[in-house]
Chains A and B, each alone.
Chain A
Amino acid sequence: ETGVTQTPRHLVMGMTNKKSLKCEQHLGHNAMYWYKQSAKKPLELMFVYSLEERVENNSVPSRFSPECPNSSHLFLHLHTLQPEDSALYLCASSQDWGRRSNYGYTFGSGTRLTVV
């Protein structure tokens, strides 16, 4: 593992279900991110947390709800999703966040989500 662990690896859910994705980082990083990766699209940034505070929310529908209880854990709560939400959801962390930060991201392996 890369130091960022995501569970589950695969998830199939109905449109009326409620589920949560979990991300845990063991690197002592201060920033954590949720990304969506769809076929034939570049990575889309969904949410950014820096020191457990949400600092970016990129026009993501309210059916996606993030939670960051501490600097090591990040959750993405899902409810009443649509089939077009099927994608690979990637969690990432970086040492820091901000304009002067050149730190790279460490990504988890992702959760492959299928909405039926």
Chain B
Amino acid sequence: KNQVEQSPQSLIILEGKNCTLQCNYTVSPFSNLRWYKQDTGRGPVSLTIMTFSENTKSNGRYTATLDADTKQSSLHITASQLSDSASYICVVSQYNAGNNRKLIWGLGTSLAVNP
């Protein structure tokens, strides 16, 4: 069954600290993996996209990693800020037969950064 599982479900950290969010998937055939940030009351915003051949990609204080062999990805946030408080959603794109692709969404990790 094609699934995307994220951990932890929720996380509380102090401002300035680092944290790592995990995403494990069983989606096949794999096309790409994206991390989205969703602020409360807003739609998700793309942070980064990882394709099969990419291991690491950074976007400011956000660094995503991908291990296609173990089907795991992580999102590392460095020097957290209050504005990082949000839900972080992992989504994996699956190639489908025919002219479309299917997105398998995770439930997200809810991150709270406290002062």
A residues in contact (CB < 8 Å) with B: 2, 4, 40-43, 45, 55-56, 90-92, 97-99, 101-102, 104-105, 107-110, 112
Residues of chain B with a CB closer than 8 A to A112's CB: 41
29 A-B pairs in the complex with CB atoms less than 8 angstroms apart: A2-B43, A40-B107, A42-B4, A42-B105, A42-B107, A43-B44, A43-B105, A45-B103, A55-B100, A90-B43, A97-B100, A98-B99, A98-B100, A98-B101, A99-B98, A99-B99, A102-B31, A102-B32, A102-B51, A102-B93, A104-B34, A104-B46, A105-B44, A107-B43, A107-B44, A109-B41, A110-B42, A110-B43, A112-B41
B residues in contact (CB < 8 Å) with A: 4, 31-32, 34, 41-46, 49, 51, 89, 91, 93, 95-96, 98-101, 103-107
Contact A108 to B43, CB < 8 A, known contacts A42-B106, A42-B107, A102-B31:
yes
Question: Which chain B residue has the least Cβ–Cβ distance from A112?
Answer: B41
Cross-chain contact B98 with A2 (CB below 8 angstroms): no
Q: Contacts A99-B95, A104-B46 known; list 5 others, CB within 8 Å.
A: A98-B100, A99-B100, A107-B42, A107-B44, A109-B42
